[in-house]
A and B are shown apart, each in its own frame.
Chain A
Amino acid sequence: MKLTFGDEVEAFRREFLAWLADNRPTAEEMAREPAVSSAHVPGWASRWIRRLFDAGWLVPGWPPERGGRNAGPVETLVYQEELTKAGIPRTTNPQGLGIVAPSILDYGTEGQIRDYAMPILRGERTACLGMSEPGAGSDLAALSTRAVLDGDRFVINGQKVWTSGANYADFCFLFCRTDPSAPKHKGISVVLVDMSTPGITVRPLAEIVNPEHPDLNEVFFSDVMVPKANLVGQMNNGWAMANGSLAHERGMVWLSSVLQLENEIDTVLAEAPAALARLTAPERAVVADGLVESAIDVAAARCLGYRAFAKLVRGGSAPEQALMKAFCSESQRRLSLRAAEMGTDRKVDIGQGPTRDGTWIERYFVTFAATISAGTSEIQRNIIAERILGLPR
């Protein structure tokens, strides 16, 4: 164990920082044209993604022709630390870059890579991810949106829900049922669907915070015709891709969460003395203890994440990693509620919507997105118990 990485890693960090200083989007251009959806790429973001791609800084672990520089995992971690500290999103279409593009690169045809994946990497197209349905949330494999092969095209009928960015995305990476007679995990395929195709209706779902800027959507498919060539990977092999998608998704999400927690605890602790002074003495002691607990959560999240990361870098397995999703998201929830209880008028970045500022109570509600989406905290505990601890189903 040691507290530092090696010199070559620090050299890599300096190289990225130097490039970043010359190439980052300015705060002014980011503020002038904020992203209004998780599939909205404003002009400045498109140009920024293109600069990252051309310089090999978009996904450092990938080869140069895909916007990378064949960097190792520790370098990738350093890159993310620095990008985060600089306050710059790598893209404003995170699902496109983080999940859809890598899945197409892994499973897609040359044509799909050319027409769908690469344009995402160059900031030219955006994508949404069509997974959850009214009857298939945690139990994703129960999805029932049908794609029926009819000659050289699919005919799609059904409904998706919670589809982030569907109201702005250029295309959808759509999970649908292609064999209703097979066991539920074995009859699912993935089809690329241009969102302008006739028969698609998108109905934005206003959320409990920032209802004027909906990002989640219901998406209805009514006899939507899609070329057979848009099938990604093998027919009825979609479930492997669902797992693959989540693997891409979970790759380094823990790091964003940890850095975000650290940012938030710093904000809260800076505000605390003034806020606590407004409470009665017994209230102060109770609230201060809660803040201490959150500070311990944040430090522990960092230590646990880095420990698991170190194991993975060494080629070992890191079962602790399975804890990070529920731990980080629940720590965020506790922290924001404690901050709200502390009683501060200061506005914070609530993490939802083009306007960044809100109250801690709003932030508290937004944090539920993280304990509910991508496998609820309860599903996470099932996974930990069954796959990590080996408890019987």
Chain B
Amino acid sequence: MWRGWSEVDETVSFSRNGVVEGELRMDLEFSEEESELRDNVRAVLASICPPAVVRAVYEGKGNAASVWATMVDLSWPALAISEEHGGLGMGFVEVAIVAEELGRAVVPSPFLATVTQFAPAVRELGGDGPLGADLLGRVAAGESTGAVALAEGGRWEPSAVGATAGETADGWVLNGAKVAVLDGADADEVMVIARAAGTSGTEGLGAFVVPRSGLAATSRTVVDPTLPLADLVLDGLLVPPDRVLAAPGTAGVADALDRAGHEATVALATATVGACRAIFEQTVEYAKVREQYGRPIGSFQALKHRMADMYLAVERATSLCYFASLTIAEEDPRRAEAASMAKAAAGECQRLVVQDGLQLHGGIGMTWEQDLHFLLKRALSGDALYGDAVHHRARLARMLGLAPLVEEARA
């Protein structure tokens, strides 16, 4: 059979094997309620977090405490927390909608760390226990912010955790170091992931929740101060028994961390793509008004094609983010694969859009006064957290059955 594009039309001439039931039956467009939420969130953020607020954070001339206060007033931290814990009981799609807008407006706030990292981890690891219920209730009420200390040595998968937890008469003693903890120096509560000495891989993992005041945190020098990171040293830190969310060796900790990780990963991917879309839109608008040789630079085909490619990169990543959000919201078994695809695509999108967005702005894009760099830095930083595109492509290689070969190659 012939199947060039023009020849095929609606006819097809091949067989598809191994179709997963339901795979092809999805509605990836916002419902009316979802569109309304997105519009509301965008309008609120435009009002409470204009570029001047971001600039103040960048220049150390102010903080964004009032931004978070408004979010709390509007119950955004409670969005996806169950009603029994004082939340609104909505799903991950709503969280992703907010995350996309946070990236778009480069909003400095505890939302990403608290709502998309800390709260899901608490829920998955111990939402039924008294500590978990207390923490979720306080997040929902906007009384506490949180962070998750997971990564070590640039690796984000739970199996790479090396920090140890040893049981004593007074509680658990933690040792080791954590890196790149989002809001790690600012959050009220920090969840630390550590493992029983002598265990490895997905065995022996545990989770502890420590008040920030009890931690030695060092703020990192970061390119984007709206995503503040800290490194933690756990030098014999004692955690009392009532602060143990999941004792090392508790069944299912690795799975719970994976599940929470999907939410954190997709939220970051979506926020990153939100920043990328804003860069793309600003670049197109700039190309329409900036004139050289007596005509708008956007009329030159060399630039048109680059903007068409930026558009594709943004839509490619956006679509995968929405799909991944749905797999989380609907407990679909493809969520791990979908999350890594979304994060990888967001990272690839960032590489193209940051590069060409800056290049097409020319010299003005290089200046501190132009707000564009807030978005550029946000997009780059979002790629780096919870595994960059390279990391997630390697994960996908494993999930797609190419893994032993890749790992052998790395050795």
Interface residues of A (CB under 8 A from B): 1-5, 9, 35, 37-38, 78, 80-81, 83-87, 89-92, 94-95, 97-99, 164, 215, 248-249, 251-253, 255-257, 259-260, 262-263, 266, 269, 272-273, 276-277, 281-285, 288-289, 291-293, 295-297, 299-300, 302-304, 306-307, 310-311, 314, 320, 323, 325-327, 329, 349, 351-354, 356, 366, 369-370, 373-374, 378, 380-382, 384-386, 388-393
A391→B5 contact, CB < 8 A: no
B304→A281 contact, CB < 8 A: no
- Beyond A369-B6, A373-B5, 7 extra complex contacts between A and B, CB < 8 Å: A1-B27, A37-B2, A87-B15, A259-B16, A292-B396, A353-B2, A385-B307
Q: Which residues of A lie under 8 Å from residue B19 when comparing CB positions?
A: 85
Q: How far is the CB of B269 from chain A (nearest CB, A)?
A: 12
Q: How far is the CB of B11 from chain A (nearest CB, A)?
A: 4
A-B pairs, top 5 by smallest CB distance, nearest first, are: A98-B9, A87-B15, A369-B4, A385-B304, A303-B319
Q: Give complex CA distance A178, B200 in Å.
A: 79
Interface residues of B (CB under 8 A from A): 1-19, 22, 24-31, 34, 93, 284, 287-288, 295-296, 298-299, 301, 304-305, 307-309, 311-312, 315-317, 319-320, 322-323, 325-327, 330, 332, 338, 341, 344-345, 393-394, 396-397, 400-402, 405-406, 408-411
Q: How far is the CB of B148 from chain A (nearest CB, A)?
A: 26
Known contacts A1-B93, A292-B402; is-contact A284 B409 (Cβ 8 Å): yes
Q: Which residues of A lie under 8 Å from residue B325 when comparing CB positions?
A: 1
Q: Which residues of A lie under 8 Å from residue B287 when comparing CB positions?
A: 391
9 CB < 8 A contacts A-B: A2-B27, A80-B12, A98-B9, A285-B410, A300-B316, A300-B345, A307-B29, A326-B312, A352-B1
Q: How far is the CB of B15 from chain A (nearest CB, A)?
A: 3
Q: Which residues of B lie under 8 Å from residue A366 when comparing CB positions?
A: 4
Q: Which residues of A lie under 8 Å from residue B17 when comparing CB positions?
A: 263, 266
Q: Which residues of A lie under 8 Å from residue B344 when comparing CB positions?
A: 292, 296
* A81, A97, A296 interface centre (most CB from chain B within 10 Å): A296
Q: How far is the CB of B294 from chain A (nearest CB, A)?
A: 12
A296→B5 contact, CB < 8 A: no
B312→A296 contact, CB < 8 A: no
Q: Give complex CA distance A87, B5 in Å.
A: 18
A164→B6 contact, CB < 8 A: yes
Q: Give complex CA distance A3, B235 in Å.
A: 47
Q: Which residues of A lie under 8 Å from residue B304 when comparing CB positions?
A: 381-382, 385-386, 389, 391
Q: Give complex CA distance A272, B27 in Å.
A: 32
* A38, A99, A292, A293 interface centre (most CB from chain B within 10 Å): A292
The one of B7, B319, B396 that contacts A95, using a Cβ cutoff of 8 Å: B7
Q: Give complex CA distance A384, B14 in Å.
A: 30
Q: Which residues of B lie under 8 Å from residue A304 when comparing CB positions?
A: 315-316, 319
- Chain A interface mostly helix, strand, loop or mixed? helix
Of all chain B residues, the one with the shortest Cβ separation from A325 is B5
B341→A296 contact, CB < 8 A: yes
A370→B332 contact, CB < 8 A: no
The one of B10, B13, B393 that contacts A98, using a Cβ cutoff of 8 Å: B10
Q: Which residues of B lie under 8 Å from residue A164 when comparing CB positions?
A: 2, 4, 6-7
Q: Which residues of A lie under 8 Å from residue B408 when comparing CB positions?
A: 281, 284
Q: Which residues of A lie under 8 Å from residue B411 when comparing CB positions?
A: 281
Q: Which residues of A lie under 8 Å from residue B93 when comparing CB positions?
A: 1
Q: Which residues of A lie under 8 Å from residue B406 when comparing CB positions?
A: 284-285, 288-289
B2→A296 contact, CB < 8 A: no
Of all chain B residues, the one with the shortest Cβ separation from A264 is B14
Q: How far is the CB of A100 from chain B (nearest CB, A)?
A: 10
Of all chain A residues, the one with the shortest Cβ separation from B93 is A1
Q: Which residues of A lie under 8 Å from residue B316 when comparing CB positions?
A: 297, 300, 304, 327
Q: Which residues of A lie under 8 Å from residue B15 when comparing CB positions?
A: 84-87, 263
Q: Give complex CA distance A8, B6 in Å.
A: 32
Known contacts A304-B315, A306-B28; is-contact A381 B309 (Cβ 8 Å): yes
Q: Which residues of B lie under 8 Å from residue A323 when comparing CB positions?
A: 311-312, 315
A257→B400 contact, CB < 8 A: no
A351→B13 contact, CB < 8 A: yes
Of all chain A residues, the one with the shortest Cβ separation from B344 is A296
Q: How far is the CB of A1 from chain B (nearest CB, A)?
A: 5
* B6, B30, B284, B338 interface centre (most CB from chain A within 10 Å): B6
Q: Which residues of B lie under 8 Å from residue A310 when comparing CB positions?
A: 27-29
Q: Which residues of B lie under 8 Å from residue A388 when comparing CB positions?
A: 311
Q: Which residues of A lie under 8 Å from residue B2 when comparing CB positions?
A: 37-38, 94, 164, 215, 351-353
